[in-house]
Amino acid sequence: MKKILVFVVLVFTILSFAKTKIQFWHAMGGWRIEVIQNMVNEFMKLNPDIEVEVQYVGSYEEILAKTVAAVQAGTPPHVVQLNEISTQKMVDSGVIVPVQDLVDKDPSFDVGLFLPQVLNYYRVGGKIYSMPWNTSTPLLYYNKSLFKEVGLDPNNPPRTYSELIEACKKLVKKDDKGNIIRTGITWPLYAWFFEQYMALQNQPLVDNNNGRTAKATKVVFNNQAALNFMNLWNTLTKEGLMINTKRADWTAARQLFISQTVGMLISSTSDVALLINESAKQGFELGTAFLPLPDGTARGGVIVGGGSLWIIKQKNPAEVDAAWKLVKYLAEPEPQIIWHKSTGYFPIRVDAIQKLQVQGYYKDNPHHLTAILQLLTSVQNYNTNGAIIGAFPEVRNAIDTATEKMISGTLTPKQALDEAEKNANKAIKEYF
C-alpha cells in the first residue's frame, strides 16, 4: 500500500513539473530570427510551465503549405504566422481557434487598446480571427544626398505622380556610352502596391464592400484609379526612369536603392530599420515620405499588410491555452516596442505608441514616425480596411502576371487590367 502511495505521489510530482510544449512557426528571416527567439525566451522565463519551440519555416506561402500538410498529418503546429491575404482562407478553413473566442473568455485582455486601423483589417464579420502582429504599410524612401546632388529639394519629396516623374527624370545619370547607370525609382513587382494604390484613391478592390459585408464575388478594379497606377508604372518603365525587378524580389529592390542605383524606393515600412542602417553604411542621407498620389485625387489611405498569428485547433485544450498566452504576450506593449524598434513594423497598440512618444523616441526616429503617421491619417472605411478574398494569392498572381506582360511591352496598361480582371474573377469563382 505504501509503495503504491509513493508511486502515485511520484507520478503527480512529475506531471506537475511537466511542461506544455507548443510550436510557433514564423516567416521572419535574417536578423529577425534572433529578435523573435529573444522575445520568446523572455516569455518562457515568465511562464516556466510552457516550452515554446520557435521555428523559422520560410516564406508565408511555405508556412501555409506546411501547416496544411501538418494539419492533415494530425500534428498541427500551435501558433503560425501567416500573411494578411490568408485571412479569408483561414477563416473558411475550420482548423483554427478564432482569437475572439479566447479574448471573450479572458478578462485580462483589452482589445480596446489596439489601433483600430489594424483591428479593422483582421475583423471579419465583427469577429477577430487572428492576432494582428507584424503590421506594415508601404512608404516612399528617398535618397536625400542624391536629391541635393541633382538639384532637387531634399525636404520636399514628390507628392504627386507628375512630381514623381519630374524627380525621376532629374535623377537619371548616363555613362559616356549612353547606358543608364542611375535612375529614378523602383518598387518590388508585387500586387500589394496595386492594392495600396486602389485604397489610396479610396477605391475598393473587390465587390461587397471589399468582401467585408458578404463574400467577394468579383474584382472591381478595372477602372480609372487602377489605370492611373498602371499608366505611371508603364511610363516610368518605358522611359527608363524605373528599374523593374523579378516578381516579389524585395531584396533586389532594396539593393538597387542601397547601392544608389535608384534615388527612390517604394517598399514596406518593415524595411525602415534596415534602410536606416544600410544608408548610414553607404554614407547617404535617408528620407521617408507618404506615397505620391495621382494628380488631382483626394488621399484615401493605406491598408495594413504584414502578418498575424493564428492559433490552430488542438486535441489538448491545455496547449490552446498555452498558445493563447504566447500570442497575448507577443501583442503586449513591451514586446511590441522591441519589435517596432528592431524592424520597423508598427506597434499595434495605442499604449505602446504613447510610451514611445513619451520617451521621445519619435523625435529621434523621424522615419518611424512618417510610417505611423501615414497609417494614422488614413481615412477609415471599407476601401482602406483592405479586401478579404479567399483566392487572394491567385488574384495577386493575376495582377502580377498582367503587370509583367505590360512592362515587357506585350500588353498596354488597359489590356493588362482587362486580363488581370478576367483571371482574378476566374480564381474567385473557382475558390473552394
Partner 1 sequence: MIKKILPYLLLIPTFVIIALFIYYPAYESFSSSFYRISVFGNRKIFVGFQNYLNLFQDKDYINAISFTVVYTSITVVASIFISFFLALLLDQKVPGARIYRTLIFAPYAVSHAVAGALWSFLLNPVVGHVNYLSRILFGIQTQWLTTRPYAAYSLFFASIWKTLPFNVIFYLAALQSISSEVIEASIIDGASSWTRVWKVVFPLVSPITFYLVIMSIISSMFQSFAIIDVMTKGGPGGYTTNMIYKLFMDGFRFQKTGLAAAENVILFLIMMVVTVIYFTFAQKKVHYQ
Residues forming contacts to partner 1 in the complex (CB under 8 A) are 61, 64-65, 68, 71-72, 89, 92-95, 177, 179, 243-248, 252, 255-256, 259, 261, 391, 393-394, 397, 400-402, 404-405, 407-408, 410, 427, 430, 432
159 versus 247: smaller Cβ distance to partner 1: 247
Task: Kindly tell me which of 257 and 329 has the beta carbon lying closer to partner 1.
Answer: 257
Closer to partner 1 by CB, 129 or 290: give it: 129
Q: Please say which residue, 247 or 414, places its beta carbon nearer to partner 1.
A: 247
Which CB atom, from 34 or from 430, has the smaller least distance to partner 1?
430
C-alpha cell at 120: 479593422
Residue 210 — left, alpha, or beta (φ > 0 → left; ψ -120 to 50 → alpha)?
left
In whole angstroms, the minimum distance from the beta carbon of 253 to partner 1 comes to 11
Q: Which residues contact 137 (CB under 8 A, 6 or more apart)?
A: 196, 268, 269, 302, 303, 304, 305, 346, 371, 374, 375
Specify whether the CB–CB gap between 324 and 318 falls below 8 A.
Answer: no
- Least distance to partner 1 from the beta carbon of 376, Å? 34
Establish how many alpha carbons lie within 13 A of residue 98's alpha carbon, considering only the half-sphere containing its beta carbon: 17
Give the separation between CA 393 and CA 150, rounded to whole angstroms.
Answer: 40
Coil, helix or strand at residue 55: strand
**161 vs 392 by CB, closer to partner 1:** 392
Which ranges constitute the DSSP H helices of 21-97?
Answer: 32-46, 60-72, 87-93
- Closest separation in Å from C-beta 65 to partner 1: 5
**Which residue, 163 or 239, has its beta carbon nearer to partner 1?**
239
Is residue 81 helix, strand or coil? strand
Is residue 123 a contact partner of residue 152, using CB atoms and an 8 Å limit? Answer: no
- Residue closer to partner 1 (CB basis): 95 or 150: 95
Residue 383: CB minimum distance to partner 1, A: 26
DSSP string, 85-146: GGHHHHHHHS-EE-HHHHHHH-TT--GGGB-HHHHHHHEETTEE-SEEEEEE-EEEEEEHHH
Distance of alpha carbon 299 from alpha carbon 297, whole angstroms? 6
CB of 94 to partner 1, least distance (A): 6
Which residue is associated with the grid cell 515587357? 408
- Shortest CB 73 distance to partner 1, Å: 11
Smallest distance, partner 1 to C-beta of residue 19, A: 28
User: 3-state DSSP call for residue 203?
Assistant: coil
CB of 246 to partner 1, least distance (A): 6
Question: Strand runs (DSSP E) across 202-289, as ranges?
Answer: 262-268, 286-289
C-beta of 154 vs 240, nearer to partner 1: 240
Closest approach of Cβ 63 to partner 1, in Å?
A: 12
* Residues whose CB is less than 8 angstroms from the CB of residue 343 and which lie 6 or more positions away in sequence, other chains included: 28, 32, 35, 134, 270, 272, 273
Shortest distance in whole angstroms from residue 370 CB to partner 1? 27
Output 74 or 296, the one with its CB closest to partner 1: 74
